[in-house]
């Protein structure tokens, strides 16, 4: 790695350490440690909410997704602004006025202790392990592409985030996240600029977009009604609303952020800020990926973007087959390059349809040869191979100048660390507030709870980092738990709907409603091919229907918030 890149990375770590130290000084109690004394302005909360959601894989994977499959992924976010409006009008005022530390604490005020404990436990189970994935996934990719030891990256991200989260608490975390989000914005804009600057001089931006469009990389709205198609307008709006309501309304890592608002106005503004900027931000990230596809029409990409897998293939028994495929690959690349130039020249002329047909034919042949190289990698490694997440880092390393590479790496680090530290504050607050203070030590001093909160943060950080270090061996088990964890989101949202939307729902009904919702999601996942984006809708509907029905049957006295 170039010395300039190392200097940029060093500067980043020094900057966040300084911001963490300056803003996190003098945590006096747990309200300060977990909720930044409920004194944060909306723009810091808004940036922190966005940083929490934008993990490193969002940044790396989304560009790769647009390169491979096009921009249709943006539809996942179609429900987000509408969900933000619904939350601002419904749940946020309830949370804010109840003066709670965790989203689940609110459920005890409304229902009972067991409903709170169950939802908090489900959160801890899902998030505890997903934190390891958030650390591991970018580390392994960056390690392969940049030739850095994977373990160093895992420790750098995991231990770095844990350290200043435990020392500085929520205020330090949120100010650091606000800066990290701005670094991510800057990194995204640099990437887009770099890809556009890398296009051949005779290809304008409009022509580049048209070439990407001709290959189906710019489809952003798909009105297909089939519920088994993952990314459509309908799954994005309908399924997306429930997905985002579950995530932003019931997940402690997000709720904790807007509970820090100095007023209800600040909390609401932070979510509406997210509502306005999320889709444009995702558009820029995806456009970068689509234009990367055009860039690689004129600059020969490697047959696969994972250099380690390719190198393994070069020294394997399949090397002769690979050499032959690479010759074919070079030929079809040159053919596609000529035809892409031909299409750019023929745009808006009578020759355009024919130029488009020829280009698509070359693109199909190119994809077919690349598919055969991928099949060879799979045969050699004996596992399924997907290099989507390697496209963007490989481009950064191969095409960008020193210093800018460091900046992009810093943006990826920032994206990973901002998600990790949010999870850590959420995990420790749920552990201490919903379990330790609720069941074990109910009447200790504030300084006692502060010390325990710091210890819980370090313990969760260490757990996630160690799990990430052993992820290679534990991978499939952790993934399975993660997948099961995500099935709880919809049912938990259903309980919150019962809490604020009905007067007659009670604790027994809500508790059993969660279980019914989880069962409904499991049934949908096993026995239907409906897109996962609808799972939260199914879970919520089942939890509300069963929870409300059973509440009427149990019919205990009402409790007020």
Partner 1 sequence: MGLETDSPPPIFRTWRRFYFVVVVNTFLAYALLLLFSLFAR
Contact residues for partner 1, defined by CB under 8 A: 41-42, 74, 78, 81-82, 84-85, 88-89, 209-210, 212-214, 218-221, 233, 262-266, 268-269, 272, 275-276, 279-280, 283
Closer residue to partner 1 (CB): 126 or 236:
236
Closer residue to partner 1 (CB): 85 or 163:
85
261 forms bridges with which residues in the sheet? 40
CB of 91 to partner 1, least distance (A): 14
Reduced to 3 states (helix: H, G, I; strand: E, B; else coil), residue 40 is strand
Query: Is the separation of the CB atoms in 356 and 343 below 8 Å?
Result: yes
CB of 268 to partner 1, least distance (A): 7
Query: Is the separation of the CB atoms in 254 and 96 below 8 Å?
Result: no
Query: Is the separation of the CB atoms in 191 and 290 below 8 Å?
Result: no
CB of 97 to partner 1, least distance (A): 10
CB of 244 to partner 1, least distance (A): 12
Closer residue to partner 1 (CB): 19 or 269:
269
CB of 260 to partner 1, least distance (A): 14
Phi/psi zone of residue 402: left (φ > 0), alpha (ψ -120 to 50 degrees), beta? Answer: beta
Q: Which two tokens stand for residue 138?
A: 């970018």
Query: Is the separation of the CB atoms in 457 and 131 below 8 Å?
Result: no
Q: Which residue has the tokens 């191979």?
A: 385
Closer residue to partner 1 (CB): 210 or 337:
210
40 forms bridges with which residues in the sheet? 261
Closer residue to partner 1 (CB): 12 or 273:
273
CB of 230 to partner 1, least distance (A): 17
Residues in the chain: 561
DSSP 395-428: HHHHHSPTTHHHHHHHHHHHHHHHHHHHHHHHHH
Q: Which two tokens stand for residue 67?
A: 């390169």
DSSP 120-182: HHHHHHHHHHHHHHHHHHHHHHHHHHH---HHHHHHHHHHHHHHHHHHHHHHHHHHHHHHHHH
Closer residue to partner 1 (CB): 268 or 437:
268
Query: Is the separation of the CB atoms in 60 and 67 below 8 Å?
Result: no
CB of 285 to partner 1, least distance (A): 14
CB of 220 to partner 1, least distance (A): 4
Positive/negative CA dihedral, 7, 412, 275, 496: negative
Closer residue to partner 1 (CB): 92 or 122:
92
CB of 391 to partner 1, least distance (A): 20
Closer residue to partner 1 (CB): 15 or 229:
229
Reduced to 3 states (helix: H, G, I; strand: E, B; else coil), residue 517 is helix
Closer residue to partner 1 (CB): 4 or 68:
68
């Amino acid at each position: 790695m170039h010395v300039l890149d190392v200097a940029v990375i060093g500067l980043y770590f020094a900057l966040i350490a300084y911001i963490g130290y300056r803003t996190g000084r003098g945590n006096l109690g747990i309200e300060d440690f977990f909720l930044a004394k409920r004194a944060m302005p909306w723009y810091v909360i808004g940036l922190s909410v966005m940083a929490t959601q934008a993990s490193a894989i969002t940044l790396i994977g989304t560009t790769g997704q647009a390169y491979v499959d096009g921009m249709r992924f943006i539809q996942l976010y179609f429900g987000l602004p509408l969900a933000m409006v619904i939350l601002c009008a419904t749940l946020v005022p309830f949370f804010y006025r109840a003066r709670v530390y965790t989203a689940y604490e609110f459920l005890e005020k409304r229902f009972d202790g067991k409903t709170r404990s169950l939802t908090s436990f489900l959160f801890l189970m899902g998030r505890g392990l997903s934190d390891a994935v958030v650390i591991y996934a970018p580390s392994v990719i960056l390690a392969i592409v940049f030739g850095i030891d994977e373990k160093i990256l895992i420790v750098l991200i995991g231990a770095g985030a844990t350290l200043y989260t435990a020392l500085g608490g929520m205020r330090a975390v949120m100010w650091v996240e606000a800066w990290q989000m701005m670094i991510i914005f800057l990194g995204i804009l640099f990437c887009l600029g770099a890809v556009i600057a890398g296009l051949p001089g005779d290809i304008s931006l409009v022509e580049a977009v048209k070439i990407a469009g001709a290959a189906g990389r710019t489809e952003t709205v798909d009105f297909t009604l089939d519920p088994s198609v993952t990314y459509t307008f309908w799954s994005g709006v309908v399924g997306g609303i429930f997905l985002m309501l579950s995530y932003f309304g019931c997940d402690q890592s997000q709720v904790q952020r807007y509970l820090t608002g100095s007023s209800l106005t600040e909390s609401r503004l932070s979510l509406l800020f997210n509502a306005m900027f999320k889709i444009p931000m995702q558009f820029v990230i995806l456009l970068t990926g689509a234009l990367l596809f055009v860039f690689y029409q004129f600059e020969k990409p490697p047959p696969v973007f994972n250099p380690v897998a390719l190198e393994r293939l070069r020294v394997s028994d399949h090397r002769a087959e690979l050499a032959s495929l690479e010759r074919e690959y070079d030929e079809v690349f040159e053919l596609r390059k000529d035809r892409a130039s031909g299409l750019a020249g023929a745009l808006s002329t009578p020759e355009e349809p024919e130029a488009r047909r020829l280009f698509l034919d070359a693109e199909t042949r190119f994809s077919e040869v690349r598919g055969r190289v991928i099949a060879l990698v799979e045969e050699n490694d004996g596992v399924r191979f997907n290099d989507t997440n390697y496209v963007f880092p490989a481009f950064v390393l191969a095409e960008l100048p020193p210093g800018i590479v460091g900046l992009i790496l810093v943006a990826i680090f920032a994206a990973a660390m901002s998600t990790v530290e949010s999870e850590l504050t959420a995990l420790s607050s749920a552990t201490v507030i919903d379990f330790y203070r609720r069941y074990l030590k109910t009447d200790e001093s504030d300084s006692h709870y502060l010390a325990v909160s710091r210890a819980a943060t370090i313990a969760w950080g260490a757990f996630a980092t160690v799990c990430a270090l052993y992820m290679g061996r534990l991978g499939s088990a952790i993934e399975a738990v993660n997948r099961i964890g995500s099935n709880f989101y919809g049912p938990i949202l259903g309980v919150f709907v019962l809490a604020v939307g009905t007067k007659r729902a009670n604790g027994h009904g809500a508790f059993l409603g969660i279980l019914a919702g989880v069962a409904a999601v499991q049934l949908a996942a096993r026995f239907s091919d409906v897109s996962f984006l609808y799972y939260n809708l199914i879970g919520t509907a089942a939890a509300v229907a069963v929870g409300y029905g059973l509440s009427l049957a149990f019919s205990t006295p009402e409790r007020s918030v």
